[in-house]
Amino acid sequence: MAFIDYNKIVLFGDSITEQSYEQTRGFGFGAAITDAYRRKLEVVCRGFSGYNTQHALHILPRIIPAPCKESCIKLVTVFFGANDAVLEGQYQHVPLEEYRENLKKIFTHPTLTAHETKFVCIIPAPICEYKTQEHDKSNGKDIVQRLAPNTKKYAHAALEVAKELGIPTANLWKRFISHAGGYQEGKSLPGSKDLPRNDKLGELLRDGLHFSPAGYKLMYEEVMKTILENYPEYDPTQEKMEFVFDHWEKAPKA
Active site residues: 15
Secondary structure of the chain: what % helix, strand, coil (to 5)?
40, 10, 50
Torsion angle of alpha carbons 153, 158, 161, 166, nearest 10°? Answer: -140
Q: In what order do the strands lie in the sheet with 169-171?
A: 42-47, 8-13, 73-79, 118-123, 169-171
User: What is the Cα–Cα distance from 218 to 215, expressed in whole angstroms?
Assistant: 5
Residue 125 near residue 173, CB atoms below 8 Å: yes
User: What is the Cα–Cα distance from 83 to 151, expressed in whole angstroms?
Assistant: 9
Residue 47 near residue 16, CB atoms below 8 Å: yes
User: What is the Cα–Cα distance from 143 to 187, expressed in whole angstroms?
Assistant: 25
**What SS3 class is residue 69?**
coil
| Distances from the Cα of 240 to the Cα of 4, 93, 117, 237, 243, angstroms | 19, 45, 20, 9, 9
